[in-house]
Amino acid sequence: MSIQEETASVCWKSPSNIALVKYWGKRGEQLPANPSISFTLDQATTETNFKVGPKTEGSGISLDFLFENQKNPIFEEKLMPFLEKASRDFAWLNDLHIEISSSNTFPHSSGIASSASAYSAMALCLCSLHEKITGEKLEDFFSTASYWARIGSGSACRSVYGGYNLWGSTPFLEGSSDQVAVNIDHLVHHNFKDFSDTILIIEKGKKAVSSTAGHALLKQHPFAGTRYHLAAENTGKLLNILKAGDLDGFIHLVEAEALMLHALMMTSPTPFILMKPNTLAVLEKIKDFRNQTGLHLLFTLDAGANVHLLNPESEDAKIQEFVKNELIGFCQNQTYFCNHIGKGPELK
Ligand code: PMV
């Protein structure tokens, strides 16, 4: 059978991840300005069905894209340049008609970043289809998926594995690379193996600064050099903290990273304040609660107003009670999502 007659389909479900040391600033083709470390979530996922079949029209990519079962021209237009790039390695993308159908387990405009789960699912589908169509086994399947997920959205490269992942070249980890993420679970102390991430939705809707614009802000940022230096240093420190099981060190470093991300935004040539009054109120509450109870509750933030509450799973019961009694009132429509560390993507 010739490639033009080929029909094949594949479906991957892939999770989002939360960064502990943040990736913020890039160079070249989506290469990170500094290394970053994250853990993969279990509940916030994207499921992507990728089908290819005979193509009738002329040259170039031929795509139909459905998001949550509806045609979505905006997403389709965003996806085209990615698929064009991917055709460098997956030449069959140009020869077949493509039908992609994607849906999230969390509401699209909830403020939870979906690009990590979306592009990791997409990249995994590309790799699986490549093996099906060409009959060739990829030398390192997940590393190739991580590479292509990165081209789609930097942080997505950390979502092709479960547990803890590091992306970006660092002298503190042999085998680390700017091109792909590597899994670091084998280094992590059992104190960090079961962690929870409760995402408090302080504000729904589109982000005030897209991550593309946010990364670009660093290009002319007076503190960019210092940030890259500190992030590189924090990567080494966090690796040691994760190895040692040092919960207090973890709290201190992860919160400082989140605040530095927001401080960068506030001090960029075009400044942005992404926290809302309720974000700050929650951060204060967390600090007080920690001081009063001695429990290991901490926060991290993405480039937005929502708050990620992190804690060891063993402390879930008391912390969920605190969320329900004290924090829910700060969430828009009392919305929050509970996640734990996840095992990574699943082939459906
Ligand atoms: O992958 P991007 O381009 O959406 O960037 C993500 C940036 C942060 O979420 C703020 C930090 C990170 O490392 O995930």
Boundary-marking domain end, from 164, 185, 206: 185
Residue 23: phi and psi, rounded to 5, are -85, 120
Decide if 98 contacts 63 (C-beta within 8 A).
yes
Q: What is the DSSP letter of 138?
A: P
Triad 189, 191, 196: Cα angle to 5°: 120
The Cα 30–Cα 41 span in angstroms is 23
Is the same domain home to 213 and 267? yes
Ligand 1 atom closest to residue 212's alpha carbon, by position in its atom list: 3
Return the amino acid letter for 112.
Answer: I
Does residue 323 fall inside a structural domain? Answer: yes
Residue among 320, 330, 336, 197 nearest 275 (CA): 330
* Residues sharing a CB contact under 8 Å with residue 286, sequence separation 6 or more, in sequence order: 297, 298, 299, 309
Does residue 345 fall inside a structural domain? Answer: no
Is the same domain home to 333 and 295? yes
User: Parallel, antiparallel, or unpaired: how do β-strands 62-67 and 97-104 relate?
Assistant: parallel
The Å distance, Cα 17 to ligand 1 centre, comes to: 9
Decide if 297 contacts 309 (C-beta within 8 A).
yes
Q: Count of domains in the chain? A: 2
CATH number for the domain including 45? 3.30.230.10
Does residue 231 fall inside a structural domain? Answer: yes
The Cα 115–Cα 120 span in angstroms is 8
Place of tokens 């400044």: 271
Decide if 196 contacts 339 (C-beta within 8 A).
yes
The pTM of the full predicted model, rounded to 2 decimals, is 0.96
Is the same domain home to 77 and 156? yes
Is the same domain home to 181 and 281? no
Predicted pLDDT of residue 291: 97
Is the same domain home to 247 and 285? yes
Predicted pLDDT of residue 140: 96
Is the same domain home to 267 and 163? no
Decide if 203 contacts 304 (C-beta within 8 A).
yes
Predicted pLDDT of residue 6: 75
Does residue 222 fall inside a structural domain? Answer: yes
Does residue 192 fall inside a structural domain? Answer: no
Predicted pLDDT of residue 326: 97
The Å distance, Cα 346 to ligand 1 centre, comes to: 22
Name the β-bridge partners of 18.
39
Nearest residue (by CA) to ligand 1, atom 9, is 302
Is the same domain home to 159 and 245? no
Which residue ranges of the chain lie beneath pLDDT 70? 1-4, 108-111, 113, 206
Predicted pLDDT of residue 109: 64
Per residue in 43-97, pLDDT tens? Answer: 999 999 999 999 887 788 999 999 999 998 888 898 999 999 999 999 999 999 9
Is the same domain home to 151 and 16? yes
Is the same domain home to 96 and 166? yes
Residues with a CB atom less than 6 Å from ligand 1 = 19, 22-24, 36, 113, 115, 153-155, 211, 302-303
Give the structural domain span for 26: 3-185
Boundary-marking domain end, from 185, 210, 227: 185
Let me know if 131 is exposed, middle or buried by CB neighbors in 10 A (0-12, 13-18, 19+).
middle
Is the same domain home to 179 and 319? no
Predicted pLDDT of residue 110: 64
Dihedral angle computed from the Cα positions of residues 253, 258, 264 and 267, in that order, rounded to the nearest 10 degrees: -110
Mutation choice for ligand 1 from 16, 21, 23, CB with most ligand atoms inside 8 A: 23
Does residue 348 fall inside a structural domain? Answer: no
Does residue 271 fall inside a structural domain? Answer: yes
Number of neighbours of residue 105 by Cβ within 10 angstroms:
15
Boundary-marking domain end, from 131, 158, 185: 185
Is the same domain home to 27 and 163? yes
Residue among 226, 308, 85 nearest 218 (CA): 226
Does residue 18 fall inside a structural domain? Answer: yes
Is the same domain home to 202 and 157? no
CATH number for the domain including 247? 3.30.70.890
The Å distance, Cα 214 to ligand 1 centre, comes to: 9
Predicted pLDDT of residue 209: 82
Nearest residue (by CA) to ligand 1, atom 6, is 155
Predicted pLDDT of residue 57: 72
Per residue in 17-36, pLDDT tens? Answer: 999 999 999 999 999 999 99
Per residue in 216-238, pLDDT tens? Answer: 999 999 999 999 999 999 999 99
3-state helix, strand, coil in the chain (%, to 5): 45, 25, 30
The Cα 147–Cα 133 span in angstroms is 20
